[in-house]
Amino acid sequence: MARPRKGDLFASLRMQGARILERLTREIQHRERELEQLVRQSQAWRAVVGGPVRSTSVRTSSTGPRAGRNVASGRSTKRVDWEEVLASVPNRFGVDDVMKHPGARAKGRVQIYPALTRWEAAKKIRRVGTGQYEKVSGRGPGRPASGGRAARRGAAKRASAAKPRRAKRAAGKASQNGRVDWDSVLKGLPAKFGAADVLKNPAAAAKGVAQVYPAIGRWVANKKAKKIGAGQYAKT
């Protein structure tokens, strides 16, 4: 029986190693996205409870373009005028639009997410989707004014009237004798939701994140909800 040549053996090992490395890289990037979302949620809740907004570092892999951006942000010591950054983005924007500003790009994503949290807490922007934001006041490039305070009040009233009444009833029934009716909490959620949406329910917020994630896990296990992305779920 002929033995395989040493060169063929090394080539096979290299190919196998490359495939394993590719899978690991994809998994690392997936975990990084989940960590970034958790950072955004923690910063948002820290702003709600009145604590100081701190920059939470997210370790990234040494592969891919993110590593280069984080290394660059570590070297940057120049202060950034974040109000100028906000003025430079369009009326509806995402993190990639913020990264187009040279100062924000030099700081990297790790400092952009706390800036987004500060803008939200100051009611300068609002979240309109996953990773998408919209300015609340001011105008984006090339966009006219939205009609003033009266128009904003009217839009807020219409949005409030459009909410289903069962969400209010579910919130009222959610806590009985100190226990949380998690099924009622689930009924009051939108079709697609995250942990931050669950914590908007007063009874769930009283229990805290430590009990919200196990509740989401039970919904998924009982096929009442399913995971559709990093930290995002949908009712089934």
Mean pLDDT of 139-151: 48
pLDDT digits (tens, 9 = 90+) for 14-68: 888 888 988 888 889 888 888 888 888 888 777 777 655 555 555 544 444 444 4
Residue 135 has pLDDT above 90, yes or no: yes
Q: What is the per-residue pLDDT for 159?
A: 62
Residue 130 has pLDDT above 70, yes or no: yes
| Neighbour count for residue 33 (Cβ, 10 Å) | 15
Q: What is the per-residue pLDDT for 89?
A: 94
Mean pLDDT of 108-129: 89
- Indicate the residue type of 150: A
Burial degree of 207 (CB within 10 A; 0-12, 13-18, 19+)? buried
Q: What is the per-residue pLDDT for 85?
A: 93
